[in-house]
Amino acid sequence: QKEVEQDPGPLSVPEGAIVSLNCTYSNSAFQYFMWYRQYSRKGPELLMYTYSSGNKEDGRFTAQVDKSSKYISLFIRDSQPSDSATYLCAMSEDGQAGTALIFGKGTTLSVSS
Amino acid sequence: DSGVTQTPKHLITATGQRVTLRCSPRSGDLSVYWYQQSLDQGLQFLIQYYNGEERAKGNILERFSAQQFPDLHSELNLSSLELGDSALYFCASSPSRERGEQYFGPGTRLTVT
């Protein structure tokens, strides 16, 4: 079993739709949870950063972490064509031994106008 | 723009050669990370430095080495290159030694022929 599982998609939605992206993980020591957006051949861009469980909202984006289920989600409201990209979940343990990010393989999202 | 810079953008070299990739972290960030992204493996952590000292090591090959200099820029050295080393190499920096929040540079695309 991989440490972080993420459905690669592709996911295709019409403009204005609500998008739900998810990851599951197996390592209960993960404390920090992130979502990155990556456009083709570009560097990953940090979208959301969450420590431990709970919800966090930033504009059209909402991140949820459920540590009891080892499940994290990213919701995108009112999706736009410019949201078309690959979304990567990432997580890391407490930093005593360094903070390597463990990434999911990414979900490719396409938003059509 | 994350504030992390990487040079060069592209590198094309032959098998058996050695190359050096360079990274400058965001102003004030002491932690630098190197990641490799290939189509089949996704984003994989290689190594972390904090204020000049190696902090954590991932699946970094013995042919690869890195260092962080007093001005906090970092270099990743890849030697005895093989075709399978062709990938995108990303540098990331973080304001904290322990927290997972990382900001990625634009990457260096390495092609080994």
Set of chain B residues whose Cβ sits within 8 Å of the Cβ of A33: 100
Using the predicted structure, report yes or no on whether residue B59 has a pLDDT greater than 90: no
Supply the pLDDT for residue B53: 93
Chain segment B23-35, per-residue pLDDT in tens:
999 999 999 999 9
| B48 contacts A99? CB cut-off 8 A | yes
A72/A31 Cα distance (integer angstroms): 12
Q: What is the pLDDT of residue A44?
A: 97
Is residue B103 scored above 90 in pLDDT? yes
Q: Does A103 touch chain B (CB under 8 A)?
A: yes
The rounded mean pLDDT for chain B is: 93
Percent of chain A whose predicted confidence (pLDDT) is above 70:
96
Taking the C-alpha atoms of residue B67 and residue A56, their distance in angstroms, rounded to an integer, is 36
The pair of three-digit structure tokens given for residue A3, joined into one six-digit string? 């440490």
A27, A101, A103, A108: which to substitute to probe chain B, counting the most B Cβ within 10 Å? A101
Q: What is the mean pLDDT of residues B68-78?
A: 97
Q: Tell me how far apart the alpha carbons of residues A109 and B17 are, in angstroms, rounded to a whole number.
A: 38
- Using the predicted structure, report yes or no on whether residue A75 has a pLDDT greater than 90: yes
Q: Which of B33, B56, B90 sits opposite A97 (nearest CB)?
A: B56
CA torsion through residues A102, A108, B1, B6, sign: positive
pLDDT tens, residue by residue, B38-56: 988 889 999 999 999 998 8
Q: What band does A90 get if pLDDT is binned at 50, 70 and 90?
A: very high
pLDDT in tens, A19-55: 999 999 999 989 899 999 999 989 999 999 998 888 9
Q: Does A88 touch chain B (CB under 8 A)?
A: yes
Asked if residues A73 and A21 have their Cβ atoms less than 8 Å apart, the reply is yes
Residue B110 confidence (pLDDT): 97
Q: What phi and psi, each to the nearest 5 degrees, are found at residue B100?
A: -85, -10
Q: What pLDDT is stored for residue B90 in this prediction? A: 98
Share of chain B above pLDDT 70, in %: 96
Mean pLDDT confidence for B50-76: 94
Q: State the pLDDT at residue A97.
A: 54
Residue B15 has pLDDT above 60, yes or no: yes
**Is residue A98 over pLDDT 70?**
no
List CB contacts (< 8 A) between B2 and chain A.
43, 45-46
| Contact assignment for B90 to A105 by CB distance below 8 Å | no
The three-class DSSP label of residue A6 is: strand
What is the mean predicted confidence (pLDDT) over A48-63?
92
Residue B100 has pLDDT above 80, yes or no: no
Q: In Å, how far is B9's CA from the nearest CA of chain A?
A: 11
Across the interface, of A95, A97, A104, the residue whose CB is closest to B99 is A95
Q: Which among A95-104, B51-60, B83-92, B93-102 has the top mean pLDDT? A: B83-92
